[in-house]
Chains A and B, each alone.
Chain A
Amino acid sequence: MQDVLKVEGLTKQYEDFMLDGISFSLPPGYIMGFIGANGAGKTTTIKLIMNLIKKDAGTIEVMGMDNIREERSVKDKIGFVYDNAGFYEELSMEQMKNIISRYYTRWDETAYKRYLKRLGLKKNKKIGDLSKGMRMKYALAMALSHHAELLLMDEPTSGLDPVIRAELLGVLQEVIEEGDCSVFFSTHITSDLDKVADYVVMIHDGEMIFNDAKDRLLEHYRLVKGTQGHLSNLGGQRLIGTDRLPHGFSALVADGRAAAKAAGEGLVLERPTLEDMMLYHVRDAAGRLV
């Protein structure tokens, strides 16, 4: 089946930052999480997909369509939620919706009303009076009301309290339940993805660090902790982001079993969270610069 989103060799050069040959693809009906530290290139990538900024090289295909040549058709199928994309605050939610809805070919007013109700929003409230959480819910309601096949979101949960975040994640899982919609969202709050993500892509300093099914990542990678003795035994292994502690060390390894064998008895192995994955890789990248 055709990938909902396919990015290849995406490159964008800025004065002091470069997105360098990013590639990944999202099969239909799944949730892909895009993680990385602030400034790693997540927003840049998403803006490039929406053609809000111009790419220097690479291809972006949404449901087989080139994102620039068929820009309008592509955008018609994308439900876009972007933290910095604002609404005219003088207008009410209903008024703003009326402006936006007319440009989507499959706008579904019934679905919109349903989501508003579900998320607890009153349509005639002025946008300027909404809290950040409510604005995000509003943006989400609209993104979900035109039968989009790809929900593309940039940091949709930042600044939201855990209750709203959980609500949002619940909605996302519902949205992919029928299999006709896929989700791609960036976040630096990795706990959101620990549960619901099917695929995870990590980016750091404009480069891809890993791109895999979340289950597979968390099954093979292990957080290892041990003594100096273990550390020397692990000499031949690739240790990621080694942290030398006062009484030993901790590191991330790609193959827990191999590490356990090499290090010998007493090595502590833990299943890493996505946050651990991110932290150790970031530390690793920083260490390589030294």
Chain B
Amino acid sequence: MDIIISNASDQPIYEQIARQIQSQIVRGDLEEGALLPSIRRLAKDLQVSVITTSRAYEELARDGFINMVAGKGCYVAAQNEALLQERRLKMVEDSLAKGVETARNMGMPLDELITLVEVLYREE
């Protein structure tokens, strides 16, 4: 499981961890039933506070991505395909929402925004 943390980023570390694990689950890199490292083990490996990893896992559990089994560990939860699709949609929506907000605040007209999105999409 690859997780890269940036101390310089504005995003809280627990969020970085949660998002990265979430992406891997959504993409299918982490399969259903896979055992995740314990909260403390992960903290040690990433050199962060235990509270940080704890929060990351709590978020993931709350959103249904993982199951925390007392005494055993944390497992990737069975992902409902429809739910996954909905999740993927939500991830894109969240990212877009920020861009749209910024555009609105600056007074950018909608069609200009749509053109911009097209350009960015085609770029890759």
Contact = CB atoms under 8 A, between A and B. Distances in A.
Contacts of A173: 43-44, 47
A195 B48 contact: yes
B14 interface: yes
B39 to A, nearest CB: 9
Interface stretch (B49-57, B71-79, B80-88): B49-57
A198 B51 contact: yes
Contacts of A178: 40
A29 B48 contact: no
Contacts of B55: 215
A53 interface: no
Contacts of A197: 49
Contacts of B49: 31, 195-198, 213-215
A215 B40 contact: no
Chain B interface category by residue count:
10 to 19
Interface string A187-201: 000000011111100
A38 B66 CA distance: 45
A287 interface: no
Contact of B40 (A169, A176, A199, A219): A176
Contacts of B93: none
B41 interface: yes
Contacts, number: 45
B99 interface: no
Interface in A231-254: none
Contacts of A169: 47
A177 interface: yes
A31 B49 CA distance: 8
Given A30-B51, A31-B50, A179-B40, 18 more contacts: A169-B47, A173-B44, A173-B47, A177-B41, A177-B44, A196-B47, A197-B49, A198-B49, A198-B51, A213-B49, A213-B51, A214-B49, A214-B51, A215-B13, A215-B14, A215-B49, A215-B51, A219-B12
21 contacts: A29-B40, A29-B50, A30-B51, A31-B50, A169-B47, A173-B43, A173-B47, A174-B44, A177-B40, A195-B49, A196-B47, A196-B48, A197-B49, A198-B49, A199-B51, A213-B49, A214-B49, A215-B13, A215-B14, A215-B55, A271-B10
